[in-house]
Structure 1
Amino acid sequence: MTRETTRFVYVTYILSTPEKVFEAITKPDVARRYWGHENISDWKVGSKWEHIRANDERSVELVGKVIEVSPPTRLVISWANASQADDPASHSRVAFEIVEYEEMVRLTVTHDDLIAGSGMANGVSNGWPTILSSLKSLLETGKGLDVFAKPKAA
């Protein structure tokens, strides 16, 4: 039986350089400022990466492997909840494509091989727009968004 998969694609344009965008994704101290998490790895093909909550608990929430890296234009990683790290079938894939456009870059994030209807698929469709909007805000204004904010009650 073949599992049904889905993908999520998000494209944004950022007044920045490819180097700064790539650094924002891969440098823990920068990621903390717009994501509330740190992405920890040596960013070499085959190396593990961990997504660690930047709070007192420092919990590892996501894990994966570096699949492809070509700074500052492309990064591809596998992606899974830390609790499912040993189950390859639960891993999805995230590709970051960074293309220079004069004074800005186009950042395309493609998160694919998601199990259709899964909690992960639902989570990333809500999470990526917030995270990438915060990344854009940080690089353009120096301040990220509150990615943990909740909608105001009506």
Structure 2
Amino acid sequence: MSAASTRFIHVIYIASTPQKVFEAITRPEIARRYWGHENVSDWKPGSRWQHVRANDTRSVELVGEVVESTPPSRLVITWAAASQADNPDSYSRVTFEIVPYQDMVRLTV
């Protein structure tokens, strides 16, 4: 990642459980329903992950590494376009924080 950075913080409240939200991010068959892509990895720190188009092309669109995985409350990954995977400066970092909030879940990305 480059020295200069921009931060975006998005918060959404979801009528669900932390486990189901975590699985919606990490389980390919569930992510496919929301994003039209599958997030594929074993989700262990240091492992690679891929964002794979869930159609006939099965093209890999994003790649990265799992930095931290604490199911069902936190996932930290790096990502870059597959075409830029060889350039360390092209990677961004994203953190998913999943916290129970009243009768729902607060997802902070």
The structure where helix makes up a greater share of residues is 1
* Same-fold status (TM-score > 0.5): yes
Give the match for residue 56 of structure 2: 56
Question: Cα offset for 1:75?
Answer: 0.0
Is there any run of 5+ residues in structure 2 with no aligned partner, and where? Answer: none
CA distance in 2, matches of 1:46, 1:84: 19
CA distance in 1, matches of 2:69, 2:34: 22
Q: Which has the larger radius of gyration?
A: 1
Aligned length: 108
Letter in 2 for 1:62: L
Identical-residue share of aligned pairs (%): 70
Query: Which residues in structure 2 correspond to 1:31-50 (within 5 Å)?
Result: 31-50=31-50
The structure where strand makes up a greater share of residues is 2
CA distance in 2, matches of 1:90, 1:80: 6
Give the match for residue 15 of structure 2: 15
Give the match for residue 123 of structure 1: none
Question: Cα offset for 1:3?
Answer: 4.9
Is there any run of 5+ residues in structure 1 with no aligned partner, and where? Answer: 110-154
SS at match of 1:8: coil
Give the match for residue 105 of structure 2: 105
